[in-house]
Structure 1
Amino acid sequence: MNTILILNAQVVNEGKIETKDVFVKDGLIDKIGTGLSGLQADNVIDAKGKYLFPGVIDDQVHFREPGLTHKACIHSEARAGVAGGVTTFMEMPNTVPNALTQDLLADKYEIAARTSLANYSFYMGVSNDNLEEALKTNPENVCGLKVFMGSSTGNMLVDNEQTLDNIFSKSSLLIATHCEVEGIIKANTEIYKQKFGDNPHPRVHPEIRSVEACYNSSSMAIELAKKHNTRLHILHISTGDETELFRNDIPLKEKRITSEVCVHHLYFDARDYETLGNQIKCNPAIKADGHKQRIFQALLDNKIDVIATDHAPHLWSEKENPYWSSPSGLPLVQHPLNLMLEFYHEGKISLERIAEKMSHAVADCFQISKRGYIREGYWADLVLVDLENTTTVSKENVYYQCGWSPLEGKTFNSTITHTIVSGHLAFENGQFNESVQGKRLLFER
């Protein structure tokens, strides 16, 4: 394993920004300090004027492999993430076939071991009839169980109340949930089909997948978790109403119920359907402007614990379909750090809080072993950022297999210059080094 010496970096870590040198050896952070320039290293990076963050840990992505590789694959999407500072991802089970058995879950880990430039973990899926199999999941090397309490993923919908009660009562693992009420969405769908016919404008999406559908489902999940003392993590909060369901009066490590917000629910709002249409159609829906303001405040107030992407690519030709047949999901894993740094440039969040919500808190929430912080003895997952240089998103520099981004034409006031994954310099000034793959996450549970 090569050694790396980073000199004169503004290290953003654990609530502080300090000028430090960082020496990486055998994949780990060996030394952090000043005056380390005399050390010999295979790669020396002068980071003067740049900011060194812990690598972004994205706890919710859809990389489409196996079975949907016409849209994306683990190799392509992990690579795109690394270009944007995402050193670690946790991927969802709604591939084809769904990851509903231990053998199918193991298959995904085998693919990642061969092809993923980023570190990885995969959720075990839970359906209405595989609880016994799901409970075999090893908590030390799998991030958690995923329950779809909504119609987002077809046959992975868990809509049986007794099944949900059994899952919440019997699982010792973290349960991550997609929360929307199927019945409300179906009723709204019938109303809007009668009202608008075969091709309504995508602006109806947040009215069909409504605030009520989200709030009622999240409330139900929280009630079940409180009843059984379950470790619950609710994904992609999209309404201000839901933020009132969460606590901020105890430290994150003591919470049994946590929550996540995705960058698109902070950045876009319902007005953007007018120009972007189906490009930003996703589940749960991007809501009216007031919701993103309330969600952002809840993030700052620690009612919402972590930031993710819910990266979910589809072909452009699929997105061009009429509203009813256009699939939900948008590709985002290449730009979450750029997006959050825009909020920093606007004075809405500090660099220290970005590192906390995208790295520290994710590691704490999932109890990830030796990641998420810039500490001696931890894995060297590091991202170097130039806050004085710009990045304009275009088809030419989007690395997703699907080849498009809803952010095309956007100029960010920051550039990701280097990404180090488990001590390997995987991305440097627009160039990839794919000679070493990322590592499987381990958990201290």
Structure 2
Amino acid sequence: MKILIKNAHLVNENQIIESDLLIENDLISKIGKNIAGENVDQIIDASGKYLLPGIIDDQVHFREPGLTWKGDIESESRAAVAGGITSFMEQPNTVPNAVTQELLEEKYKIAAEKSFANYSFMMGGTNDNLEEILKTNPRNVAGIKLFLGSSTGNMLVDNPETLEKIFSSTKMLIAVHCEDEGTIRKNTEIAKEKYGEDIPVTEHHLIRSEEACYISSSKAVELAKKTGARLHLFHISTAKETELFRNDIPLKDKKITAEVCVHHLTFTSDDYGTKGNFIKWNPAVKTQKDKDGLWKALLDDRIDVIATDHAPHTLDEKSQNYLQAPSGGPLVQHSLNVMLENFKNGKISLEKIVEKMCHNPAILFEIEKRGFIKEGYKADLVLVDLNDGYTVSKENLLYKCGWSPLEGTKFQSKITHTFVNGFLAFENGKVSDEKHGERLLFDRD
């Protein structure tokens, strides 16, 4: 297939240029002005629209295997493609947990049949699976995931000796969820003394507090410095944690990197009153001061990546009382739209959005030939119209769980086309039934 995109504003490597782009099969074959349209299968006139590299989401929970009533690889990757996400990295806390090479490969087999987007799955760490961790292939697995907080039950890695062994033994990127279990338990007991079993969700950010996050994050950073490990901290949620990161060296030279999620850039603890459990995440959405600190660190490059931590639950599950309602929510269909809204409101540039959602995940994980608009790279692309908006409603959601914390939000921009490996996977509101997702590969020694 040859597809020619004409007159697009290409957003790439800190510049915006008007150009044509030719896709041949799965690759970007030519970028330039006035590319001839003979012998092509399709021409798309992108006049007035902006062409971005496909979004790479480095942290999602697509719930397959074992939790597929909440979501599955097919449903959630379909929603991701509609949201301009062409590649995702999924986490190991499915059922069974992906903590052996055999269980990890089972997930890859499912995705090979079901995924609309490109995929990679993290290998999970526990207190006793170091041998399995060390078998992980750096060429075709994104990294090792460790939960240093009780967010996921049995995957909590809380043995200091084990942690140090993992950090010092593997050369692979280690991604961590950081919350201090002892602090969370203590704060939960304080809340129970005050409210009994009927704790209001407005206490969530006080239970999973700044202190709980900082204690755990700072320990992980300290251990990475001690062992020389390659550490990536997921979903930073407090202003205080941003002090742990540097912006005085290029990303490719950083050994310790950080991610922020869309919900921590969007909501604050003031929103619990209206949104309730629908914005209950771990780590918790925190104060306006924290949100402001996260934005500052994102824009000054202490925080490197924007992701979603997409984690769907059913409406019934979310409608339980605070202690029973699970943490997490669906976001992949709307994360780019949220960031484009922040662009429209003058908070961030298009170039910076592309840097944090496309380029930096590719650099940080050393993804092969993705994340940039370059000749010879995979044709993972998203075309957006910045002057044609829509309102999020139940009717236009693609999540299996059927709800979004953003319902009723009016966006000023719209994703019109998403290409996955050169295939037009999403066009004007419809995801194609054909699946062209591929396993991500990584340029690592």
Using the size of structure 2 for normalisation, the TM-score is 0.99
Q: What does residue range 110-189 of structure 1 map to in structure 2 within 5 Å?
A: 110-189=109-188
Per-residue Cα deviation, 1:58-89 (whole angstroms, up to 9, x for no partner): 00000000000011000000000000100000
Q: CA deviation at 1:436?
A: 3.2
Q: 1:184 is matched by which residue type in structure 2?
A: T
CA distance in 2, matches of 1:443, 1:400: 29
Q: Are the equivalent residues in 1 in contact too, given 2:37–2:43 (CA < 8 A)?
A: no
Q: Are the equivalent residues in 2 in contact too, given 1:59–1:91 (CA < 8 A)?
A: yes
Q: CA deviation at 1:38?
A: 2.8
SS at match of 2:244: coil
CA distance in 2, matches of 1:133, 1:101: 6
Q: 1:192 is matched by which residue type in structure 2?
A: A
Per-residue Cα deviation, 1:341-392 (whole angstroms, up to 9, x for no partner): 1110111110000000000011000000000000000000000000000121
Q: CA deviation at 1:37?
A: 3.6
CA distance in 2, matches of 1:180, 1:441: 29
Match of 2:10 in 1: 11
CA distance in 2, matches of 1:175, 1:29: 31
Per-residue Cα deviation, 1:87-128 (whole angstroms, up to 9, x for no partner): 000000000000000010000000000000000000000000
What is the percent sequence identity of the aligned residues?
A: 63
Q: CA deviation at 1:26?
A: 1.7
CA distance in 1, matches of 2:194, 2:36: 69
Q: What does residue range 193-272 of structure 1 map to in structure 2 within 5 Å?
A: 193-272=192-271
Bigger mean CA offset, 383-392 vs 194-203: 194-203
Mind listing any 5+ residue stretches in structure 2 that lack a counterpart? Answer: none
Q: CA deviation at 1:437?
A: 2.3
Per-residue Cα deviation, 1:117-157 (whole angstroms, up to 9, x for no partner): 00000000000011111110000000000000001000000
The question of 1:100 aligning with 2:66 is answered no
Mind listing any 5+ residue stretches in structure 1 that lack a counterpart? Answer: none
Q: Are the equivalent residues in 1 in contact too, given 2:19–2:33 (CA < 8 A)?
A: yes
SS at match of 2:150: coil
CA distance in 1, matches of 2:8, 2:156: 47
Q: Are the equivalent residues in 2 in contact too, given 1:7–1:37 (CA < 8 A)?
A: no
Q: What does residue range 31-50 of structure 1 map to in structure 2 within 5 Å?
A: 31-50=30-49
Match of 2:350 in 1: 351
Q: CA deviation at 1:193?
A: 0.8
Match of 2:189 in 1: 190
Q: 2:351 is matched by which residue type in structure 1?
A: E
Q: CA deviation at 1:17?
A: 0.5
Q: 2:30 is matched by which residue type in structure 1?
A: K
Q: What does residue range 281-320 of structure 1 map to in structure 2 within 5 Å?
A: 281-320=280-319
CA distance in 1, matches of 2:432, 2:3: 14
Match of 2:395 in 1: 396
Per-residue Cα deviation, 1:252-311 (whole angstroms, up to 9, x for no partner): 000000000000000000011000000000100000111111100100100000000000
Match of 2:25 in 1: 26
CA distance in 1, matches of 2:48, 2:74: 32
CA distance in 2, matches of 1:176, 1:235: 7
Match of 2:272 in 1: 273
SS at match of 2:151: coil
Q: CA deviation at 1:200?
A: 1.7
CA distance in 2, matches of 1:115, 1:38: 34
Match of 1:436 in 2: 435
**Superposed structure 1 runs of 4+ greater than 6 Å apart:** none
CA distance in 2, matches of 1:159, 1:295: 27
Match of 1:90 in 2: 89
Cα-Cα RMSD: 0.6
Q: Are the equivalent residues in 1 in contact too, given 2:115–2:435 (CA < 8 A)?
A: no
Using the size of structure 1 for normalisation, the TM-score is 0.99
CA distance in 1, matches of 2:186, 2:436: 46
Match of 2:325 in 1: 326
Q: Are the equivalent residues in 1 in contact too, given 2:24–2:422 (CA < 8 A)?
A: yes
CA distance in 2, matches of 1:100, 1:268: 33
Aligned residues: 444
